[in-house]
Structure formats: structure tokens, C-alpha cells
């Protein structure tokens, strides 16, 4: 017999269970918020998981060859290096490195092709517009910063380049009073820069030449940085300083106390003010758009750099020396520094300081008693201390546009740390360590360059 289909009778449903109640509006909104939140979290995790991790704050980008007695200058993303003569060449060489591309741009030999006997002095570098100035013991070489082409060579140490294409030379002016005469013994005083005979004194046979020498101020000479041509010169004056802005000008304080503004190219006097200070004891300094003139150490007068109009006059509470320090004028005194408003001459405050005040990276700094040591940043309008830098005492020389970069050694022998304090910031941002002991550091707005135990190293920190 064949088996048929088996039917299991479950009976007839006579009761329907009640339907699930519809969720209330608040409950529905809560469920939607939960779902949306979960979706956002999943998206963030997905995006975060696919994005690369942030890079290190410090990245080494260059390690150019280094020799003893070289000098380097960091400007933006350019590094200029001047190296001393070698056994193969008797001439110094200057090399420009493009740090963004990681390549040498040019190398230019400078100087004469003869060996100078005696110890070789270290050369230095500075920038004047689109020119690189190489300062040696008795000469300044002017190179084009883009090509390395030698533009000019001036047989003096040119300083203050940057006002147009004019550089200044300041030489001590001497006066001599011979005390004896004769023909058997002579002394010739010769300029170390030009070889020019400045004075000759003779003595009687068997006697040492006698003469008295005294400083008679300085002689200011202006040179064209593109041709090396001397443009004009003064006789003995008290001081001479290039002024900022256009047209290029030079402030000169004469021996009889006349303050002058001269055309930098022609030497023509544009403005003058007689009796500004005592010409024999006074001096001047440039502070932004001001010329600060001071007689002795008790009174400071600020003149507008372009017109020599009096801006303000301040009497100091003691002996001090006024100078520009960022947005204010500082006066260094015994054990303290005064802060003066640059626009009005009004006193703002004072800072107790064993060292002195300096402006770097958009901050007013109180320096420690050791040379270059950093102590803390200062509010320039009150003298109040702001950021403690005592844990970062070693200085990093800032270039134009560079924030305040700091460094300190690590407890490990071959490691150092870097940090930065941006302009206007009130806290230290630690950048991180590098695996070298560092010294003689410089910074730009992009890079940090330091000497290390195994050569020169350059890092980006932006």
C-alpha cells in the first residue's frame, strides 16, 4: 500500500494577536538620530583610515659639504656658503643652494689667485636686495644672487647695504701731532684697507719717533654696489647711517652738531638741523622711521627720518643708551631697560635685565647674562614677562620673516630639540627632536640650518 500525503490539522485560528503599536514621534526621531550618528561615525572612520598620517614637523632636506672656516647664510629657501681657499685653489668659493629643489644653483670663485701667507681670516655674508655681499678681511665682493655673477669688488668692508644699490664704508678718522723731526727714523701710518700713507713722522738720530694720535670721528664713503664706484665721501664726522625707505638716504651727524639727511647716490644735503646734539659727544641711531640723536646719556631726541622734523624729546632718569627694538624704543641702563613709545616718547614701562632687550621674530626678548642667552618674551607696551624661554636658552639667529625658533640639547648626547613661538603667540610650540647635537643655528620662515658633529644640516619646519 502506498503512503499518501500526511496532513497535520492545526485547527482554525479564532484569535488574531493585536498589531504592534506605531512608534511615537519622539521615539521615531530618536531612532533616526541614532542611525544618522552611526552613519557619520562610519564615514569618519573610513575617511580617516584612508588618509595618510601627518608627517613629522622637522624634515631634513640638505646636508651640503662642510669645511673648517666656512660661513653660511640662510635666506628663505636659499643657503649661501662661502668656503676658504683649498690646496687646489687659492681662491675662496661662494655656493648658493636652492633648498626647495635640493640642488646647488651656482658656485663662484672670488679673490686673487695668489696664496696669502699667514692665518686665513673667516669671511662673512650679508644680503643687500638681490645681491650677496661677501666680506673678507680687506674687501667686499658683490655677487648677483640669482646667477652668482660678480657685480663689483670694493677694497673696503661695506656695511649697511640695502638702500637702493648703495653701500656705506665707515673708517676711523685719525689726527696726528708729531713731537719730533729728523731724517734718520720715520714712522708711516698706512691705511690697512687701501695702502694709502696717512701720516709720516720723523725723529732725530738715535731717538724713537714721537707723535700723538687721537680718534677724530669717522669718514663715511658711499659706493655703488653694482659697479664698485665710489660715489661720495665726507671728511671726519661723528656718525653716518643708511636710512630705510625710498629714495635712498643717509643720516650724517657732523662734528659741529649738525644733523643731515643726504642723498645716498650724490651726497647732496636734502635736510639739515643745526645744533641737534653736541657733535663731539653725541651720536645717532636709526630706529625704523626715526633717527635717534643723543647727547651724552641723559636726553634723547627722535627726528622723522625723511624730514628731520622733531617727533619727541625725552629726558632719561639716568645714564642710558637708546636704540630701536621692534615697535618701541629701548633704553639700556644699569641693571634695567626702559621702554619708550616710538610715536610719542611716552614711557611705557621697564624691565629688570642683567642682559639687554632685543627684537626677534615679532617678539621683544629679554636676554640672559650670557651672550645670546634667551630668558623670556616681554610685552613691549608694559614690560610684563610673557613666555618663559629659560628651558630654551640657546639662540637661533633669525632671518627676515622668520618666527622665533628655539633649540635646546637633549639628555642624550646626539640629539637636540626645536620649538617655535609664532609672532603674537603666548605659548611655545615644540617641533620635535633631530638626531644630532647642533650649534650656530639660523632660521628662515621655512628652514632651520645648523652646524652638527658631522657637518651642516638643514631641516624644513613648515
* Higher-confidence position of 235 and 79: 79
Q: Is 380:348 a contact under the CB 8 Å cutoff?
A: yes
The answer to whether residue 45 scores a pLDDT higher than 90 is no
Q: Does domain 322-384 have CATH number 3.30.70?
A: no
DSSP secondary-structure letter at 383? -
pLDDT tens digits for range 263-300: 999 999 999 999 877 766 678 899 999 999 987 767 89
What nine digits make up the cell of 126? 650679508
The answer to whether residue 433 scores a pLDDT higher than 90 is yes
First to last CA, the chain: 94
pLDDT tens digits for range 156-187: 889 866 557 899 998 887 666 555 444 444 55
pLDDT band at 443 (very low <50, low <70, confident <90, very high): very high
Q: Is 61:447 a contact under the CB 8 Å cutoff?
A: yes
Distance CA 385, CA 351 (A): 9
Residue/partner pairs of 293-301 with CB below 8 Å, 24 or more apart: 293/253, 293/259, 294/321, 294/322, 297/321, 300/329, 300/331, 300/340, 300/345, 301/276, 301/277
Q: Is 49:94 a contact under the CB 8 Å cutoff?
A: no
Q: Is 65:455 a contact under the CB 8 Å cutoff?
A: yes
Q: How many CB atoms lie within 10 A of CB 212?
A: 9
Selection from 1, 164, 77, 86 nearest residue 447 by Cα: 77
pTM: 0.78
Mean pLDDT to the nearest integer, 105-122? 71
Q: Which residues contact 41 (CB under 8 A, 6 or more apart)?
A: none
Q: Which residues contact 18 (CB under 8 A, 6 or more apart)?
A: none
Calculate the CA dihedral of residues 317, 319, 324, 330 and round it to 10 degrees. -50
Amino acid at each position: 500500500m502506498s503512503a499518501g500525503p500526511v496532513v497535520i490539522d492545526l485547527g482554525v485560528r479564532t484569535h488574531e494577536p493585536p498589531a504592534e503599536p506605531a512608534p511615537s514621534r519622539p521615539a521615531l526621531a530618536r531612532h533616526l538620530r541614532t542611525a544618522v550618528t552611526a552613519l557619520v561615525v562610519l564615514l569618519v572612520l573610513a575617511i580617516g583610515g584612508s588618509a595618510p598620517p601627518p608627517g613629522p614637523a622637522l624634515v631634513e632636506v640638505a646636508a651640503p659639504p662642510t669645511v673648517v672656516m666656512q660661513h653660511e647664510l640662510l635666506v628663505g629657501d636659499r643657503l649661501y656658503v662661502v668656503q676658504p681657499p683649498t690646496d687646489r685653489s687659492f681662491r675662496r668659493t661662494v655656493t648658493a643652494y636652492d633648498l626647495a629643489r635640493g640642488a646647488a644653483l651656482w658656485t663662484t670663485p672670488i679673490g686673487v689667485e695668489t696664496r696669502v701667507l699667514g692665518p686665513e681670516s673667516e669671511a662673512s655674508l650679508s644680503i643687500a636686495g638681490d645681491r650677496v655681499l661677501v666680506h673678507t678681511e680687506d674687501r667686499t665682493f658683490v655677487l648677483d644672487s640669482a646667477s652668482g655673477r660678480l657685480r663689483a669688488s670694493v677694497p673696503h668692508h661695506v656695511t649697511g647695504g640695502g638702500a637702493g644699490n648703495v653701500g656705506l664704508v665707515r673708517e676711523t678718522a685719525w689726527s696726528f701731532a708729531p713731537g719730533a723731526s729728523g731724517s734718520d727714523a720715520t714712522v708711516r701710518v698706512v691705511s690697512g684697507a687701501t695702502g694709502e700713507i696717512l701720516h709720516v713722522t720723523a725723529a732725530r738720530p738715535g731717538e724713537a719717533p714721537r707723535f700723538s694720535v687721537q680718534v677724530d670721528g669717522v669718514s663715511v664713503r658711499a659706493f655703488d654696489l653694482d659697479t664698485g664706484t665710489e660715489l661720495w665721501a665726507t671728511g671726519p664726522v661723528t656718525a653716518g647711517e643708511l636710512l630705510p625707505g625710498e629714495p635712498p638716504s643717509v643720516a650724517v651727524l657732523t662734528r659741529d652738531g649738525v644733523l643731515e639727511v643726504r642723498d645716498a647716490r650724490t651726497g647732496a644735503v636734502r635736510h639739515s638741523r643745526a645744533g641737534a646734539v653736541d657733535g663731539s659727544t653725541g651720536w645717532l641711531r636709526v630706529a625704523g622711521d626715526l633717527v635717534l640723536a643723543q647727547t651724552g646719556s641723559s636726553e634723547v631726541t627722535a627726528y622723522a627720518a625723511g624730514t628731520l622734523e622733531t617727533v619727541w624729546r625725552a629726558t632719561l632718569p639716568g645714564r642710558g643708551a637708546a636704540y630701536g627694538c621692534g615697535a618701541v624704543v629701548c633704553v639700556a641702563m644699569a641693571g634695567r631697560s626702559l621702554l619708550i613709545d616710538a610715536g610719542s616718547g611716552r614711557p611705557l614701562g621697564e624691565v629688570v635685565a642683567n642682559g639687554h632687550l632685543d627684537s626677534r621674530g615679532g617678539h621683544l626678548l629679554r636676554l640672559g647674562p650670557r651672550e645670546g642667552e634667551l630668558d623670556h618674551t616681554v610685552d613691549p607696551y608694559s614690560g610684563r614677562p610673557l613666555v618663559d624661554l629659560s628651558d630654551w636658552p640657546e639662540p637661533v639667529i633669525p632671518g627676515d620673516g622668520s618666527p622665533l625658533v628655539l633649540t635646546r640639547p637633549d639628555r642624550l648626547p646626539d640629539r637636540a630639540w626645536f620649538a617655535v613661538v609664532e609672532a603674537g603667540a603666548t605659548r611655545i610650540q615644540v617641533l620635535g627632536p633631530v638626531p644630532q647635537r647642533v650649534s650656530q643655528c639660523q632660521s628662515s620662515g621655512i628652514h632651520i640650518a645648523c652646524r652638527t658633529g658631522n657637518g651642516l644640516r638643514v631641516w624644513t619646519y613648515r
